[in-house]
Structure formats: C-alpha cells, structure tokens
Amino acid sequence: MTKPIRILYVDDEADIRGIIDYALEDEPDIVLESCESGQEALNKAGDFQPDLILLDVMMPGMDGPTTLKKLRELTQTRTTPVIFVTAKVQPNEVEQFKSLGAIDVIAKPFDPISLAAHLRKQLELATRAPAKKRLTNLQVCAGPIRRNSRAESTRLTQTGLLSLPTMPAAAFMMNFVARSTAWSAPACPSVIRKWARLPARSNSLLAS
C-alpha cells in the first residue's frame, strides 16, 4: 500500500482552510492537517511530520516567510518541500518566495478541482531534485562526454575505472549520463565502480 502524502496547511482565514479541506478531503492518498497560525504549525509539525507544507504569506503574529524560517529550524521539517499559497503573485514576489526555498507559489484564488493533482506533481518534482543536485557535469570526473558511449566506456577502461567485462553496462550507463545535465565529481567514480561490480550477464542485459 502506498504511503499517504501528509500535508500541513497554514492559513489564518477559516474560509480558505475550508476550501483546501474540501479540495483534498476525498483524496485517499492525502492526509491534511490544517493550522490557523504559524505557531500552531510549529507545535504540530514535529508529531505530524508532513511530506509537504502549504503556507499562507500574510498572517498576523507570524507571517508565512517567518513561519518557514522557524520550520527549517525543526529537524522534522528542515528539508520538507514548501509551497506558498497567496494573492501576492507579482513576478518579483514569486521570485522572492522561491529564494526563501519554496518549490512553488499557488495564486489565490486557486482551482480546488485541480489542486490535488498539482500538489502531487510538485511533490514528485521536489523529491527528484535532491538526486539531481548531487550531480554536476560528467566532464569533472570523466572528461568531455562523447556521443559514442561504447567508445567512452573504452576510454574509462583504459583509465582503470572500468574493466572489460563490464563494458556493456558501462555503455548503458554512459547513455544515461549523457542525457543528464548534472553529475557530480564525488558521485561519479563511486557510481562507475558500482556498475563495474555487476556480473557480466547482468551487464549484457542492462545494455540491451
């Protein structure tokens, strides 16, 4: 069974919280916890351990950006993806919210019918992002990427990073890497060595 998506929503306006609740209440894979203030969100976040946080911007006492800063100080929400839900959606405002670490900004009023699908998509993109951030350019660790992945694996073999029996898997890997815009120098050798440990039969299957 798929683990439900736990969403913490923070907004001082009861009407908006009601709309969010209406939009998500029939979604079997979503568990919603609503808060009317930043302080309430801080009190609940530790036990609730959200997968996604939705934050209003303009709130009395503790506004959205301040709430986000405080949430980042908690272990349970230090890296939790955050989306601002606000009427402040001028380009410079959206840019500012994203500079604070928000993965998206949803404009009020929003479409409650499409909200669940939009949140799933944003969360999926956010969970993929850490893997991409661990990667930079392959050129750092293996030299310029070449179109012929089999030739590239041969070159790596000559450097001692790969052994000949693993060349089919290496070709498969290099095809994948060539399509990536981010590959990190620390990650590259370890990934190559991991592929190099695969049995020759597995290499042939992966490269087919």
Q: Which of 112, 133, 154 is the last residue of a domain?
A: 133
Q: Are residues 143 and 161 both part of a single domain?
A: yes
Residue 127 — very low, low, confident or very high, per pLDDT cuts 50/70/90? confident
Average pLDDT over residues 152-170: 48
The model's pTM = 0.63
E-state strands within the chain: 5-10, 30-35, 52-55, 82-86, 104-107
> What is the per-residue pLDDT across 32-77, written as a single tens digit (0 to 9) for each?
999 999 999 999 999 999 999 999 999 999 999 999 999 999 999 9
For residue 195, pLDDT over 80 is answered with no
The CATH number of whichever domain residue 69 belongs to comes to 3.40.50.2300
- Domain boundaries, position 202: 139-207
Closest CA to 100 of 119, 121, 77, 72: 72
pLDDT (0 to 100) of residue 193: 45
For residue 158, pLDDT over 80 is answered with no
Q: Are residues 56 and 112 both part of a single domain?
A: yes
More confident residue, 94 or 181: 94
For residue 148, pLDDT over 90 is answered with no
Domain count, the chain: 2
Residue 7 — very low, low, confident or very high, per pLDDT cuts 50/70/90? very high
Percent of the chain past pLDDT 70, that is, above it, reads 61
- Cα of first residue to Cα of last residue in the chain, in angstroms, is 32
For residue 8, pLDDT over 70 is answered with yes
Q: Are residues 113 and 43 both part of a single domain?
A: yes
Angle formed at CA 191 by CA 188 and CA 194, multiple of 5 degrees: 150
Q: Which of 115, 133, 151 is the last residue of a domain?
A: 133
Average pLDDT over residues 160-182: 44
Q: At what angle do helices 14-24 and 112-133 cross, to 10 degrees?
A: 80
Q: Which of 133, 166, 191 is the last residue of a domain?
A: 133
Q: Are residues 53 and 89 both part of a single domain?
A: yes
For residue 23, pLDDT over 50 is answered with yes
SS3 at position 105 = strand
Q: Are residues 26 and 99 both part of a single domain?
A: yes
Q: Are residues 125 and 179 both part of a single domain?
A: no
Q: Are residues 128 and 157 both part of a single domain?
A: no
Q: Are residues 124 and 168 both part of a single domain?
A: no
Q: Are residues 118 and 199 both part of a single domain?
A: no
Q: Are residues 69 and 147 both part of a single domain?
A: no
Q: Are residues 57 and 33 both part of a single domain?
A: yes
- The answer to whether the CB of 107 falls within 8 A of the CB of 67 is no
Summary mean pLDDT of the chain: 76
Q: Are residues 126 and 144 both part of a single domain?
A: no
